Structure 1
């Protein structure tokens, strides 16, 4: 419950702070005194978007702070989930700077507005002056039934699965578009793939072919120079090997004289062995070199094929052509397996629809189960509020279509008078009747939702006299189990409060400010008398005011 509210530098409010209690609290004041301003500030505290124009003095920041006793409302899981420090007395603060920026804090930890909204939804329900009209809106009607039916977890699961279904349907659309394009290009892709596969490309193939081409294309040059090199090494009299052998012989004659000469002889012997090996390799190469016009033409044709494919596919290496081949093969396979892929995805979609339908059926069943008790309870309450012949009828029809909150079509109908026909509730009920029905709905919801605090902004619009008295009784009864705050113009309701605050304007110098103070018993009598009889404060008005306060 809200135990304290502080507002600084907001619109006409300079600095106010009020302490609030459990039970039924009344707020009254002249028209335009600032009641809506206070509700606007409270809305900011609960996560509404800020407008820097609300700052009273742009030299200072606007600060709205609320203190909440949350010890009895099982909110520990929320605080853990949002990684916040849990305190039995939790302080929520909103700051708005002249620059237009705003900051929000929960127990001095900075938070985003969505988190503030989530916490606000768990703490306070503000029923604004125009919210009564939402009774005729389908979204609110569903919300009422789903609170009573305890459908929260099922709806979360339904929406999660519905998002999954829409993703699968998007995938199906994309797949169909891709396959339509692929089918158009299929024949050409098959032609390109066949051409590449027939080339029998391998990594490193181009370099090997280019090297072989150079050998075959230069047979005469190779024969001439390889033969010359072999002769220069192998010639008996002037060849390199003969010369080295003579050197080895000369050194061998003196090798016994010194280890130096022996070492030199070994080195010459190593050179002879290496040179002999080189000569052997040159001879082998010379034997392999022979003119082969057929192989030369074959190698040239293979190279030309590679060059043409590289030009065609804007590739510079055989490796790139191999990557293009793999991509084309995948594209062709996808096209040829199109039906199988489509069937698989369509099967997944069908299974997902069946799964969602089961959840929607459970949601429907829960809603259907609470309707009889809910309509009976509403009728009982509004009967006490001067609508004894009014009947509420709720129709819930399961559809094939998936909506955002299930598969139900929902309609609320009202017969306001005895023997009257049922009509859509927003057409069948007057403003005062809507207020009474809304109060009945809210009082039922209050018990089921277990909200700590509910605030009514003139829920009594369009009623007076004995009906107002009975509305006050309902609000007072609600205050026995939760904190109820009512902004009202009706003395019959104001007299039911366990505490009473008055909002008023005051001129300070050249400035008008909005203030609020809690009224004591005597002040409450005077306030009720004024509400009853204007400014006269007549004896009858005072007596009536005392009677209202018992």
Structure 2
């Protein structure tokens, strides 16, 4: 419910403050006085795109602010989804800067136009005579039917499952895509893995293989060198071993003459012992060095295969090859696991699909049960509003896919006259008929749910006499359940309002302004009298106005 509207520096409006109350508020004024400007400002507040030409004074920014009661509409979840503070009342504000830049705020938090539209659509519902947007919208028609069918809870559960269904379908699609990609490279991955597995990498110590290969590949050089070393060290008389033994024996004579001499002897004796041990080891190693062409060939093949694999995979160690082998094994296992995951996901999709079908069928059944009473109520209202031969038909057509509202498409068909086959309502109804249909729909819905503030913008154009009274009565009844604002030229509707506001122009020597004021008492009587009799108000018009107000 809108409680207050503030408009500054917007087209012909310099500074206007308007309070609104529950019930029916009527707004009147001469053609061109600026009633549409008021609606334009409110539309900006509800998320319409701004235009720099809408600023009155180009040196000042335009500010439009509205205070709304949001408590009746269960909007806490919407606020939470948009990371907004839920406040009662809530303040919406639009600013248009002289630069042309536009800003939007909800409770002083900057928001996008989409966020403002999302909230604004829950707070205010504007209808003009030639506005076919709602009646042409299947989603609007379906929403109307579902409200009357009491489908809100069931529909919420259906939509929650539909979101889960789409998520699961996307997951399944991703898994199948992964499986397809895995299958494309499966043969190559299998080949790479088997190639590495055949190399028996876990048995390989690369350094040992390379050392053994070097040994067998250089047997003659190694054996000759070892024998030469033994010969040099042990050659009788001049060999290193004999020389060291002679030196040690010489020191034997003086080692008892002090610690220094004894230490020298011990060191020399250690060298003799070490050299003797070295000679024995050289002989032993030399004995193990033998030609083995077959083993050499096997080692060469083993190393060449190892080097080939390392080059192929751009690595230098056996450990890195083992890591790659493990990764390849994981990919092969992943393909196996994918199939299991796909089967599991297919089962989940199938189960939730069955639940969706069940809920969609329940929604359809509730809607079908609602059509007769909805048809009767609409036709009764239109009979009162001067369309005694109006007919409605509602058709549900099953669909193959799950939609946001179930598995049906809805068509709302209308005929205003006898002998005319019903057709799509937004194509068959004239502007005046559209207005009466929308009024009838809103009157019916008002008894079932908390509707947002409804603004009727001259939907009574072309209506007069008894029909005008009936329209006013319907609006009056509606306003007991919903805040209703009607911009009207009809005295019957103007007199029905709980509150009456007049939009008017002020002309000065240099400028023209649009302003708005509350009408009470004689001012209201005179305004309604002018609507009855024109600018020259006579006693009969005054009397008629008083009669309407009473």
Decide: shared fold, TM above 0.5. Answer: yes
Match of 1:465 in 2: 465
SS at match of 2:496: coil
1:160 aligns with 2:163: yes
Match of 2:173 in 1: 170
Residue 435 of structure 1 and its aligned partner are, at CA, apart by 1.4
2:245 and 2:52 mapped to 1: Cα distance?
102
For structure 2, which runs of at least 5 residues remain unmatched after alignment?
Answer: none
Residue 439 of structure 1 and its aligned partner are, at CA, apart by 0.6
1:477-531: CA deviation from partner (whole Å, max 9, x where unpaired): 1222221111222222122111122223334454433322222332323332333
Residue 204 of structure 1 and its aligned partner are, at CA, apart by 6.6
1:278 and 1:55 mapped to 2: Cα distance?
106
Match of 1:406 in 2: 406
Match of 1:126 in 2: 126
Match of 1:490 in 2: 490
- Match runs of 1:10-159 below 5 Å: 10-71=10-71, 73-75=73-75, 79=79, 84-148=84-148, 149-151=150-152, 152-159=155-162
1:274-300: CA deviation from partner (whole Å, max 9, x where unpaired): 888877776665454333222221121
SS at match of 2:481: coil
Q: Is the 8 A contact 2:176 2:342 kept in 1?
A: no
Match of 1:546 in 2: 546
Match of 2:445 in 1: 445
1:500 aligns with 2:503: no
1:172-209: CA deviation from partner (whole Å, max 9, x where unpaired): 76357537x72xx6666655554443233349754443
How has the CA–CA distance of structure 1 residues 283 and 83 changed in structure 2, closer, same or farther, with 3 Å as cutoff? farther
SS at match of 1:537: coil
Residue 438 of structure 1 and its aligned partner are, at CA, apart by 1.0
Match of 2:378 in 1: 378
**TM-score, normalised via structure 2 length:** 0.83
1:353 aligns with 2:353: yes
Q: Is the 8 A contact 1:248 1:268 kept in 2?
A: no
Q: After alignment, is 477-486 or 152-161 more displaced?
A: 152-161
1:175 and 1:232 mapped to 2: Cα distance?
72
Residue 462 of structure 1 and its aligned partner are, at CA, apart by 4.1
How has the CA–CA distance of structure 1 residues 93 and 255 changed in structure 2, closer, same or farther, with 3 Å as cutoff? farther
How has the CA–CA distance of structure 1 residues 483 and 296 changed in structure 2, closer, same or farther, with 3 Å as cutoff? same
1:84 and 1:129 mapped to 2: Cα distance?
35
Residue 141 of structure 1 and its aligned partner are, at CA, apart by 0.8
**TM-score, normalised via structure 1 length:** 0.83
How has the CA–CA distance of structure 1 residues 73 and 275 changed in structure 2, closer, same or farther, with 3 Å as cutoff? farther
How has the CA–CA distance of structure 1 residues 80 and 261 changed in structure 2, closer, same or farther, with 3 Å as cutoff? farther
Q: Is the 8 A contact 2:8 2:14 kept in 1?
A: yes
2:516 and 2:436 mapped to 1: Cα distance?
28
Residue 378 of structure 1 and its aligned partner are, at CA, apart by 2.2
How has the CA–CA distance of structure 1 residues 364 and 22 changed in structure 2, closer, same or farther, with 3 Å as cutoff? same
Match of 1:480 in 2: 480
Match of 1:535 in 2: 535
1:278 and 1:128 mapped to 2: Cα distance?
113
Residue 107 of structure 1 and its aligned partner are, at CA, apart by 3.0
2:19 and 2:245 mapped to 1: Cα distance?
116
Aligned residues: 546
Residue 446 of structure 1 and its aligned partner are, at CA, apart by 2.6
Match of 2:307 in 1: 307
Residue 25 of structure 1 and its aligned partner are, at CA, apart by 0.6
How has the CA–CA distance of structure 1 residues 64 and 283 changed in structure 2, closer, same or farther, with 3 Å as cutoff? farther
How has the CA–CA distance of structure 1 residues 75 and 141 changed in structure 2, closer, same or farther, with 3 Å as cutoff? closer
Q: Is the 8 A contact 2:129 2:432 kept in 1?
A: no
1:510 and 1:414 mapped to 2: Cα distance?
52
- Match runs of 1:282-431 below 5 Å: 285-312=285-312, 318=318, 321-322=321-322, 325=325, 346-417=346-417, 421-431=421-431
